[in-house]
């Protein structure tokens, strides 16, 4: 086997089918919806693999042979101009390289960004150079970008990751504006994905919202343990190493099958295993310590900016792993917390900043590594 990458347990990016585990049913479902002209909303917790699934789907031959796939991540955006800026860049980078005609066409249609059309002084090639401050009329530019997609030679697929962010924009009409543009699109299918389940569910399932019943919705469960175990063992074998199957089960259960965290540990375990050797449970403590230590400075910085009562509650949740009834007398007494009202206030702040998640009456720290660090090393 030709080894194209040093460590086959890829984290944070999509390489190819070979390094992507399963999701065959979800991939088939997604492609079927696209082929039948249905837009899709994917709702799942962060780090469960929804972005990887989308990239995997967009790289399948039945998609690349017929469609123009475009992916944009809007997690860091806080306003409509930022959204338009990210979308404009993503569309230009995907369509414009096809030919100089398409580059010229982009600036003919997206006239509000014409100031970004520049010739490279070295090559004479037309290029795109705009900053966020150049988005003067975001609604106009957004209309123009959607018009440009309508002019594409092949149907487009626009995948917008962390779509729930638009609900927090200061421009409160963003959802309605986008819904109108999506409805008018005849040459583009849409995949909306988001990790804040309550916000995404409200956006697509609430009768009062513009996107109500506009999409097929799908969730993501953890990859089955047996499937992931076969995948991990196979990658070790392909690289001339061996892997204890029980170790995979231990790692999987430690992180509740959450793809990114499991992959991070498997990546480190692979790195620690010498050529031709077998990776056994004896390697696990060092792997976990190495991964958590690599994040330690980030965690210290996070805590340094956190109010004391939020910090106290966070450590209490970390010690419980999954904390229930956090305003109860028992929880407050066990962890020496000030009062039910202060816990409630702290929880609200931690939820708002995505540090913790809530499922009914159960709270946990979203980042499993942060939880381990707080419980054992801090």
Q: Do residues 238 and 357 both lie within one domain?
A: no
Highest mean pLDDT among 62-71, 90-99, 105-114: 62-71
Average pLDDT over residues 213-220: 92
Q: Residue 118 domain-assigned?
A: yes
Residue 184 lies in a domain: yes
Look at residue 1 and tell me whether its pLDDT is greater than 50: no
The packing angle between helices 368-376 and 284-304, to 10°, is 90
Percentage of the residues of the chain whose pLDDT score is greater than 70: 94
- 3 pLDDT above the threshold of 60: no
Q: What is the mean pLDDT of residues 175-195?
A: 96
From 195, 219, 243, the end of a domain falls on 219
Among 195, 177, 187, smallest CA distance to 141 is for 177
Domain that includes residue 325, residue range: 306-376
Q: State whether 326 and 353 are in the same domain.
A: yes
Q: Sign of dihedral through CA atoms 342, 345, 348, 353?
A: negative
List the beta bridge partners of residue 305.
none
Q: What is the pLDDT of residue 306?
A: 95
Confidence of residue 2 (pLDDT cuts 50, 70, 90): very low
Domain assignment present for residue 251? The answer is: yes
pLDDT (average), residues 191-219 = 92
pLDDT in tens, 234-245: 999 999 999 999
In a domain, 4, yes or no: no
Which residue, of 163, 184, 219, is where some domain finishes?
219
For residue 40, report the phi and psi dihedrals to the nearest 5 degrees.
Answer: -130, 140
12 within domain boundaries = no
Query: In angstroms, rounded to a whole number, what is the distance separating the alpha carbons of residues 188 and 211?
Result: 16
Stretch 221-226: mean pLDDT, rounded? 95
214 and 330 within one domain: no
Whether residue 6 lies inside any domain: the answer is: no
Does residue 206 contact residue 242 with C-beta atoms inside 8 Å?
Answer: no
Domain boundary among 295, 321, 338: 295
Specify whether 147 is located in the same domain as 76.
yes
* Residue 14, both tokens: 């999509």
pLDDT tens-digit readout, 305-354 = 999 999 999 999 999 999 999 999 999 999 999 999 999 999 999 998 88
Half-sphere exposure of 132 (CA within 13 A, CB side): 8
Assigned domain for 7 exists: no
- Do 209 and 270 sit in the same domain of this protein? no
What CATH number did the domain enclosing 147 receive? 3.40.50.300
Compute the distance between CA of residue 105 and CA of residue 98 in angstroms, rounded to an integer. Answer: 11
CATH number at residue 272: 1.10.8
Residue 131 has pLDDT above 80, yes or no: no
Predicted local confidence at residue 112, as pLDDT: 83
The CATH number assigned to the domain holding 323 equals: 1.10.10.10
| Nearest of 92, 75, 226 to residue 149 by alpha carbon | 92
35 and 124 assigned to the same domain: yes
> Are 149 and 267 found together in one domain?
no
Q: Give residue 319's region: left, alpha or beta (phi > 0; psi -120 to 50).
A: alpha
Closest C-alpha among 94, 96, 90, 91 to residue 125: 96
Least confident range of 10-24, 110-124, 277-291 = 110-124
Tell me the percentage of the chain whose pLDDT exceeds 90: 78
* Same-domain check for residues 212 and 64: yes
Nearest residue to 190 (alpha-carbon basis) of 69, 97, 93, 53: 69
Considering the domain architecture, whether residues 184 and 159 belong to the same structural domain is answered as: yes
- The answer on 270 and 291 residing in a single domain is yes
pLDDT above 80 for 205: yes
127 has pLDDT over 80 = no
Q: Taking residues 4-9, report their average pLDDT.
A: 90
Is residue 263 included in any domain, yes or no? yes
Which residues are bridge partners to 69 per DSSP? Answer: 157
**Rounded to whole angstroms, what are the CA distances from 354 to 98, 148, 220, 311?**
39, 35, 19, 14
**Mean per-residue pLDDT over the chain, rounded:** 91
> Over the stretch 43-93, which tens digit does the pLDDT of each residue have?
998 899 999 999 999 999 999 999 999 999 999 999 999 999 999 989 988
Judgement on whether residues 33 and 170 belong to the same structural domain of the protein: yes
Domain count, the chain: 3
Whether residues 203 and 54 share a domain: the answer is: yes
The pLDDT, as a whole number, for residue 96 is 67
Greater model confidence, 114 or 155: 155
């Amino acid at each position: 086997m030709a080894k194209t990458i040093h460590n086959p347990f890829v984290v944070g990016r999509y390489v190819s089918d070979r390094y992507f585990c399963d999701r065959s049913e979800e991939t088939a479902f997604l492609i079927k919806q696209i082929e039948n002209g249905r837009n899709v909303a994917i709702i799942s917790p962060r780090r469960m693999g929804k972005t990887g699934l989308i990239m995997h789907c967009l790289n399948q031959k039945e998609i690349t042979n017929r469609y123009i796939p475009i992916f944009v991540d809007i997690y860091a955006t806080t306003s409509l101009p930022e959204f338009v800026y990210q979308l404009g860049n993503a569309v230009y980078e995907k369509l414009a390289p096809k030919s100089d005609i398409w580059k010229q066409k982009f600036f003919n249609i997206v006239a509000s960004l014409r100031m970004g059309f520049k010739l490279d002084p070295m090559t004479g090639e037309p290029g795109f150079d705009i900053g966020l401050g150049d988005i003067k009329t975001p609604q106009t530019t957004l209309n123009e970008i959607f018009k440009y997609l309508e002019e594409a030679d092949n149907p487009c697929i626009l995948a917008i990751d962390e779509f729930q962010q638009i609900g927090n924009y200061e421009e409160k009409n963003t959802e309605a504006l986008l819904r109108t543009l999506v409805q008018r699109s005849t040459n583009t299918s849409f995949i909306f994905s988001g990790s804040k389940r309550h916000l995404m569910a409200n956006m697509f399932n609430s009768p009062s919202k513009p996107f109500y019943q506009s999409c097929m919705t799908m969730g993501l469960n953890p990859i089955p343990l047996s499937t992931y175990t076969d995948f991990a063992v196979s990658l070790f074998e392909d690289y001339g190493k061996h892997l204890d199957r029980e170790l995979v089960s231990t790692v999987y259960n430690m992180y509740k099958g959450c793809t990114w965290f499991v992959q991070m540990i498997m990546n480190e375990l692979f790195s620690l295993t010498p050529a031709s050797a077998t990776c056994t449970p004896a390697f696990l403590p060092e792997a976990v310590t190495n991964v958590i230590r690599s994040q330690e400075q980030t965690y210290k910085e996070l805590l340094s900016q956190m109010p004391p009562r939020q910090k106290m509650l966070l450590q209490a949740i970390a010690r419980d792993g999954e904390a229930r009834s956090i305003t109860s007398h028992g929880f407050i007494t066990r962890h020496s917390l000030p009062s039910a009202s202060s816990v409630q206030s702290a929880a609200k702040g931690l939820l708002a900043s995505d540090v913790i998640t809530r499922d009914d009456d159960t709270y946990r720290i979203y980042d499993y590594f942060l939880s381990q660090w707080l419980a054992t090393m801090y």
